[in-house]
Amino acid sequence: MNIPKLKIGKLVAKVPIIQGGMAVKVSTAPLAAAVANEGAIGLIAGSGLKVEELKEEIRRARSMSKGIIGVNIMVAISEFKELANAAISEGIDLIVAGAGFSRDLFTMGKESGIEVVPIVSSVKLAKISEKMGASAIVVEGKEAGGHLGTDKPMKSLVKNIVKAVKIPVIAAGGIINGEDIAEVLKMGADGVQMGSRFVASKECEVDDSFKEVYINATKEDSVLIDSPVGLPGRALRNPFFDRLTASEVDTGKSCDYLCLKKCSHSFCIMKSLIQAQEGDMEGGLVFAGERAHLIDKVLPVKEIISDLLSDAKKYLGGKTNE
């Protein structure tokens, strides 16, 4: 079996990998552009950005790459429609949307010609997405980092969903190496979405201390939190997590960010994510996938993708499409 190209509507990626759009300011223009330059699909995380900030990130990515650039925007974010329209106005190639389901997004996609790719975690939602005109779907399991929409393993979801729809299925959650890619391709997935592996890259703009949490993590450091937005979140243990579990965090009384539509205000999720991105491990939450502990080096994106494809080919017994 050869490594296939990934076709999403009119888009064709030489490499069947989408780099996950990780907020806040984890997946920015340099990372997305570097991934796109290798023939994969780079995503900019729109959640937590202001409209003009997102536009600037898209322009910055376009100046660095002629490859496929998309955005990931959480449906649950208060400025979802404004950010989606901003991305469309900048000529983005695709919009990936999770943490909720937006019927309006499909209309926006049809009117603009932008490919719409929802993140789903059930057969029912996969079928609805296909019926409404999704160009592809990302099927995300419990192993993913960040806010989670299911407690079911990715592989079981993929097995059922590939049988239920005809549009491309992109597997996400716990995919770290080439063997993982080969396994889901053999299961019938058309591609993969990977976030955590690309955090530990030279091009990712998070503080070095953020990347060190990944590199130094053990299997036991993958933890779940109760996010104030009403969803579980998968993160890595750090000083902030210890303070959170000891009920020493009280940052949710004021809301100074473009946050989510619903929030318990037990603590400020946006503030904690921004502080982590900036390197404050006492005040910052480090989201990461369940298998992030397998990452042991910070490498350039070019080398990461080369290694992934080389390893995947070994397990598939084929070659990459040229």
pLDDT over threshold 80, residue 258: no
The per-residue pLDDT for 322 is: 52
pLDDT over threshold 70, residue 17: yes
Residue 318 lies in a domain: no
Q: Based on the structure, what is the number of domains in the chain?
A: 2
DSSP designation for 314: H
Q: How far is CA 34 from CA 44, 79, 189, 201, 204, in A?
A: 12, 27, 24, 10, 9
Domain with residue 173: its CATH number is 3.20.20.70
Q: Are residues 188 and 303 in the same domain?
A: yes
Per-residue model confidence as pLDDT tens digits over 69-95: 999 998 888 789 999 999 999 999 999
Q: Are residues 70 and 214 in the same domain?
A: no
Q: Are residues 77 and 195 in the same domain?
A: yes
Instruction: Give the side-chain half-sphere CA count within 13 A for 291.
Output: 17
pTM: 0.93
The per-residue pLDDT for 256 is: 59
Residue 234 lies in a domain: yes
Note down the domain range covering 232.
208-292
Q: Are residues 116 and 229 in the same domain?
A: no
Helices 123-132 and 154-164, packing angle to 10 deg: 40
Query: What would the DSSP string read from start to end of 29-64?
Result: HHHHHHHHHTTSEEEEE-TT--HHHHHHHHHHHHHH
Helices 80-89 and 51-64, packing angle to 10 deg: 30
The per-residue pLDDT for 150 is: 84
Q: Are residues 217 and 280 in the same domain?
A: yes
pLDDT band at 227 (very low <50, low <70, confident <90, very high): confident
Per-residue model confidence as pLDDT tens digits over 146-182: 888 888 999 999 999 999 999 999 999 999 999 999 9
For residue 14, count other CB atoms closer than 10 A to its CB.
17
Judge if the upstream peptide bond of residue 249 is cis by omega within 30 degrees of 0.
no
Q: Are residues 169 and 305 in the same domain?
A: yes
The per-residue pLDDT for 144 is: 94
Q: Are residues 120 and 227 in the same domain?
A: no
Q: Are residues 281 and 138 in the same domain?
A: no
Q: Are residues 95 and 152 in the same domain?
A: yes
Beta carbons of 15 and 39 less than 8 angstroms apart: yes
Straight-line distance from the first to the last Cα atom of the chain, in angstroms, rounded to the nearest whole number: 14
Residue 1 lies in a domain: no
pLDDT band at 260 (very low <50, low <70, confident <90, very high): low
pLDDT over threshold 90, residue 234: yes
Residue 319 lies in a domain: no
- What the block records as the tokens of 110 is 């049809």
Q: Are residues 123 and 80 in the same domain?
A: yes
Average pLDDT, the chain: 92
Q: Are residues 110 and 258 in the same domain?
A: no
pLDDT over threshold 60, residue 228: yes
pLDDT over threshold 70, residue 12: yes
Q: What three-state secondary structure class fits 321?
A: coil
Beta carbons of 94 and 115 less than 8 angstroms apart: yes
Q: Are residues 98 and 176 in the same domain?
A: yes
Residue 320 lies in a domain: no
For residue 238, count other CB atoms closer than 10 A to its CB.
23
Which residue shows structure tokens 């299911």? 150
Q: What angle do CA 30, 34, 39 make, to 5 degrees?
A: 150
Which residue shows structure tokens 């396994």? 183
The per-residue pLDDT for 149 is: 83
Q: What three-state secondary structure class fits 204?
A: coil
Query: What would the DSSP string read from start to end of 247-308?
Result: T-----SS--S--BS----SS-HHHHHHHHHTT-TTT---B--TTGGG----B-HHHHHHHH
Which residue shows structure tokens 């939450």? 285
Q: Of 258, 315, 245, give the one whose Cα is nearest residue 54.
A: 258
